[in-house]
Amino acid sequence: MMLTEIVNSIPPALIFLAGAALLPLCSVRLRPLVFVALPVLTLLMIINLEPGTAAGITFMNLELVVLRVDSLSLAFGYVFCLISFFGGWYAWHLKEKGQQVAALIYAGSALGAVFAGDLFTLFVFWEMMLVGSAYLVWAGRTRFSAGAGMRYIIVHLAGGSFLLAGILWQFAQTGSIEFAHLQGASSYLILIGFAVNAAIPPLHAWLPDAYPESSVTGSVFLSAFTTKVAIYTLIRGFEGLDILIWAGAVMAVYGAVYAFMQNDIRRVLAYGIISQLGFMVAAVGIGTPMAINGAVAHAFSHILYKGLLFMSAGAVLFATGRSKLTELGGLARSMPAVFVLYMIGAVSISGFPLFSGFVSKSMEIYAAEAGHYTFVFLMLQVASAGTFLYTGLKLPYFIFFGEDKLVPIKPIPRGMYAGMGLAALSCIVIGIFPQTLYSLLPFQLDYQPYTVAHLWETTSLLIFTGLVFRLMLEKIKPKPAIILDTDWFYRRPAGLAYRMFVETPARVFTRVNDAVMQLVDWISGIAANPVGFMVYRTGKLKNRTHKAAPPAAEPAIFDPDRYRGSLGTMVLIVMAGFIIIGLISFVSS
488-507: which residues touch other proteins (CB under 8 A)? 491-492, 494-495, 498, 501-503, 505-506
- Kind of pairing, strands 62-68 and 54-59? antiparallel
Say how far apart CA 268 and CA 526 lie, in whole Å: 71
50 near other proteins, rule: CB under 8 A: no
Give the length of the chain.
589
Query: Among 25, 467, 534, 549, which residue interacts with other proteins (rule: CB under 8 A)?
Result: 467
Say how far apart CA 388 and CA 466 lie, in whole Å: 8
Span near other proteins by CB under 8 A; candidates 266-274, 309-317, 353-361, 480-488 = 480-488
Check residue 321 and give left, alpha or beta (phi > 0: left; psi -120 to 50: alpha): left
CB of 543 to other proteins, least distance (A): 26
Say how far apart CA 93 and CA 96 lie, in whole Å: 9
Residue closer to other proteins (CB basis): 126 or 533? 126
582 near other proteins, rule: CB under 8 A: yes
Residue closer to other proteins (CB basis): 392 or 421? 392
Check residue 61 and give left, alpha or beta (phi > 0: left; psi -120 to 50: alpha): left
Query: Among 51, 336, 480, 493, which residue interacts with other proteins (rule: CB under 8 A)?
Result: 480
464 near other proteins, rule: CB under 8 A: yes
Say how far apart CA 423 and CA 224 lie, in whole Å: 13
Q: 430, exposed or middle or buried, with CB in 10 Å at 0-12, 13-18, 19+?
A: buried
Q: 492, exposed or middle or buried, with CB in 10 Å at 0-12, 13-18, 19+?
A: exposed
Say how far apart CA 5 and CA 48 lie, in whole Å: 10
Residue whose C-alpha is closest to residue 154's, from 171, 137, 140? 137
CB of 130 to other proteins, least distance (A): 7
Residue closer to other proteins (CB basis): 376 or 420? 376
CB of 383 to other proteins, least distance (A): 8
Residue closer to other proteins (CB basis): 453 or 531? 453
Say how far apart CA 214 and CA 217 lie, in whole Å: 8
Q: 518, exposed or middle or buried, with CB in 10 Å at 0-12, 13-18, 19+?
A: middle
Query: Among 409, 476, 529, 532, which residue interacts with other proteins (rule: CB under 8 A)?
Result: 476
Q: 374, exposed or middle or buried, with CB in 10 Å at 0-12, 13-18, 19+?
A: exposed
Residue closer to other proteins (CB basis): 70 or 521? 521
CB of 68 to other proteins, least distance (A): 18
Query: Among 134, 222, 412, 430, which residue interacts with other proteins (rule: CB under 8 A)?
Result: 134
Query: Among 386, 392, 402, 442, which residue interacts with other proteins (rule: CB under 8 A)?
Result: 386
201 near other proteins, rule: CB under 8 A: no
Query: Among 56, 98, 330, 353, which residue interacts with other proteins (rule: CB under 8 A)?
Result: 98
Span near other proteins by CB under 8 A; candidates 33-41, 162-170, 218-226, 535-543 = 162-170
Site for other proteins in 541-580 (CB under 8 A): 556, 559, 561, 563-568, 570-571, 574-575, 578-579
Query: Among 26, 34, 41, 168, which residue interacts with other proteins (rule: CB under 8 A)?
Result: 168
Residue 419 CB contacts under 8 Å (≥ 6 apart), including other chains: 86, 87, 88, 89, 90, 91, 92, 220, 311
Span near other proteins by CB under 8 A; candidates 38-46, 222-230, 409-417, 474-482 = 474-482
Site for other proteins in 303-362 (CB under 8 A): none
**DSSP E strands, 239-394:** none
Q: 441, exposed or middle or buried, with CB in 10 Å at 0-12, 13-18, 19+?
A: buried
CB of 97 to other proteins, least distance (A): 8
Query: Among 401, 461, 522, 540, which residue interacts with other proteins (rule: CB under 8 A)?
Result: 461
Distance between first and last Cα of the chain: 72
172 near other proteins, rule: CB under 8 A: yes
Residue whose C-alpha is closest to residue 166's, from 185, 138, 146, 143? 185
Whether the link from the prior residue into 202 is cis, omega within 30° of 0, is yes
Residue closer to other proteins (CB basis): 219 or 426? 219
Site for other proteins in 112-131 (CB under 8 A): 123-124, 127-128, 130-131
184 near other proteins, rule: CB under 8 A: no
Span near other proteins by CB under 8 A; candidates 44-52, 66-74, 473-481, 530-538 = 473-481
Kind and range of the H or E element at 56? strand 54-59
Query: Among 22, 482, 523, 549, which residue interacts with other proteins (rule: CB under 8 A)?
Result: 482
Site for other proteins in 389-418 (CB under 8 A): 389
Query: Among 34, 40, 261, 526, which residue interacts with other proteins (rule: CB under 8 A)?
Result: 261
Query: Among 382, 418, 425, 526, which residue interacts with other proteins (rule: CB under 8 A)?
Result: 382
**Which residues pair with residue 54 across a beta bridge?**
68
CB of 426 to other proteins, least distance (A): 27
Size of the site for other proteins (CB under 8 A): 107
Give the number of other Cβ atoms within 10 Å of residue 508's Cβ. Answer: 10
471 near other proteins, rule: CB under 8 A: yes
